[in-house]
């Protein structure tokens, strides 16, 4: 059985993330969407809230599991017996960071592979931060996040 992990902050999940997760789910037996718990970041949503939103918007996809992790991704990958790390690539700016992370992970754990999936051009400009910033100032985010996420964001900024 082939298992992939899609790791990220998902603060909150956007349609760009969902596109990558759903495409990955078609290629492997199981996808673990792993929410990174990073105490150095100041997230808008708690890890629990992010997990709940992910669970709600992915409930129709049977081979997706939502989990969270802290510490090194390669340790989590080994612990959960994951075969491949899947990351989305939006632009050159993502490439530099992801290139560094993939090589560092390879150095730490040579048997772990990272593969990259090109963004859907409809969502190539989307990030959780741009969504938060837009929603905070009452800009329209329809079609960029699921309705449940939009409602949760509006509530946070009330």
Residues in contact with ligand ADP by the rule CB under 6 A: 8-10, 14, 16-17, 20, 87-88, 90, 94, 119, 123, 126-129
Closest CB 73 distance from ligand ADP, rounded Å: 11
In the bound state with ligand ADP, the residue whose beta carbon lies nearer, of 95 and 157, is 95
Contact status, residue 24 vs residue 117, Cβ threshold 8 Å: yes
Helix or strand holding residue 64 (H, E) = strand 64-69
**Min. distance of Cβ 126 from ligand ADP in angstroms?**
4
Other beta carbons less than 10 A from residue 133's beta carbon: 11
CB of 137 to ligand ADP, least distance (A): 18
Sign of CA dihedral 56, 117, 73, 64: positive
- For residues 8 and 17, the answer to whether their CB atoms sit within 8 Å is yes
Spatial separation of the C-alpha atoms in residues 144 and 13, rounded to whole Å: 10
Least CB distance to ligand ADP at residue 62 (A): 21
Provide the annotated active-site residues.
17, 41, 90, 128
Which pair of tokens denotes residue 47?
């890890």
Give the nearer residue to ligand ADP in terms of CB position, either 14 or 105. Answer: 14
Strand partners, 69: 36
Among 103, 58, 70, 61, CA closest to 85: 103
Nearer to ligand ADP, 19 or 83 (CB): 19
C-beta closer to ligand ADP: residue 105 or 119: 119
């Amino acid at each position: 059985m082939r298992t992939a992990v899609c790791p990220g902050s998902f603060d909150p999940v956007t349609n760009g993330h969902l596109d990558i997760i759903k495409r990955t789910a078609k290629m492997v037996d199981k996808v673990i969407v792993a929410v990174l718990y990073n105490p150095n970041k100041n997230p808008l949503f708690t890890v629990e809230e992010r997990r709940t939103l992910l669970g709600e918007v992915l409930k129709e996809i049977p081979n997706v599991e939502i989990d969270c992790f802290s510490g090194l991704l390669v340790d989590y990958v080994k612990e959960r017996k994951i075969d491949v790390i899947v990351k989305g690539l939006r632009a050159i700016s993502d490439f530099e960071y992801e290139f560094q992370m993939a090589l560092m992970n390879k150095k730490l754990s040579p048997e772990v592979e990272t593969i990259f999936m090109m963004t859907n051009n409809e969502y190539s400009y989307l990030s959780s931060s741009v969504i938060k910033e837009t929603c905070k100032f009452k800009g329209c985010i329809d079609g960029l996040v699921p309705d449940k996420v939009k409602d949760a964001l509006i509530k946070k900024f009330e």
